[in-house]
Amino acid sequence: MRSATVTADDDRIRWVELPGREPARVYVHGLGATSAPYFAEVATHPLLAGHRSLLIDLLGHGISDRPRGFDYSLESHADALAAALTSAGVGGAELIAHSMGGSVAIVLADRHPHLVSRLVLVDANLDPMPRTPGSGGSSGIAAYSEQEFLTDGWQEVRDRVGAHWWSTMRLTGREALHRSATQLVRGTVPTMRELLLGLEISRTYLLPEADGPLPGADALTAAGVSVVPVPDCGHNIMLDNPQAFAHATATALADHGRP
């Protein structure tokens, strides 16, 4: 396990690092998750193994610190992640980022372009979302006020999301979980989608094939984003179909046809 101080209050981001060749690959989890359980299998898959790989936990999540004074906006997450990567000597990294982590990765690439050479977004959030009471995801968490969530809303969310997601969500600071969800549904200005369209690096978007066409896929494709449906999976593509995930990701990161 490695770590780096990322705030003025000495809060630390931590990650599991696998040795290998450059460029480094940085795996970033989604809301209420942690990178090692979600990405360890695919990061060591024969199609993806061999690169230096950082399975990193965003501030407030997993093995990273959980500061209560942090705002957990997508911009602040991205800046904290940038500080960790800089401390680790990472530059021009290939980011493989899931869900909210994909949103953070887009903002990171926009704000700190020297740190990112390629993006593989895994069913990432690209647009603001409505707050939806009773939903288990970010829109449901954000439907509570922070005080409501801290008092007993978190227990209702726990009961809705199920044992699998809760196994990592319970490691997330409660303020971090609520603020991250609230900021995610609010999105950024310009939106994450608009930022993604404007990036001048290799970009791939993976989505579950069963979800049907990705809204706005034509504009993404026209801007050079590869939109790749992955069969036999849900939102957690890397867990549901690791073989297909590894193949799609290796293809996205291939250099002259070789991963």
How do residues 165-187 score in pLDDT, each as one tens digit? 999 999 999 999 999 999 999 99
- DSSP, collapsed to helix, strand or coil, labels residue 191 as coil
- Mean pLDDT (whole number) for 227-240: 98
pLDDT-based confidence at residue 36 (cuts at 50, 70, 90):
very high
pLDDT-based confidence at residue 49 (cuts at 50, 70, 90):
very high
Round to whole Å and give the CA distance between 178 and 154.
Answer: 9
Q: Helix-strand-coil percent breakdown of the chain, rounded to 5?
A: 45, 20, 35
CA–chain centroid gap for 176, Å, is: 15
pLDDT above 70: residue 255: no
- What is the bridge-based pairing of β-strands 116-122 and 202-208? parallel
pLDDT above 50: residue 256: no
Burial of 158 (0-12, 13-18, 19+ CB in 10 A): middle
Number of Cβ within 10 Å of residue 213's Cβ equals 10
pLDDT above 80: residue 27: yes
Please give the angle made by the CA atoms of 61, 165 and 175, to the nearest 5 degrees: 35
Contact 42, 111 (CB under 8 A): no
Task: Look at residue 34 in the predicted model and tell me its pLDDT.
Answer: 98
Give the tokens for residue 224: 């050079």
Contact 201, 109 (CB under 8 A): yes
> 132 φ, ψ to 5°?
-125, 100
- Mean pLDDT (whole number) for 97-113: 98
- Mean pLDDT (whole number) for 32-53: 98
pLDDT above 60: residue 152: yes
Burial of 147 (0-12, 13-18, 19+ CB in 10 A): exposed
- Mean pLDDT (whole number) for 94-121: 98
pLDDT-based confidence at residue 257 (cuts at 50, 70, 90):
very low
pLDDT above 50: residue 3: yes
Task: Look at residue 136 in the predicted model and tell me its pLDDT.
Answer: 82
Q: What percent of the chain has pLDDT over 90?
A: 97
DSSP-assigned states of every residue in 107-160: HHHHH-GGGEEEEEEES---S-----TT-SSHHHHTTS-HHHIIIIIHHHHHHH
Mean per-residue pLDDT over the chain, rounded = 96
- Mean pLDDT (whole number) for 200-213: 97
85: nearest Cα among 118, 53, 120? 53
pLDDT above 50: residue 208: yes
DSSP structure class, residue 214: P
pLDDT tens readout for residues 67-91: 999 999 999 999 999 999 999 999 9
Is the whole-model pTM more than 0.95? yes
Round to whole Å and give the CA distance between 155 and 209.
Answer: 32
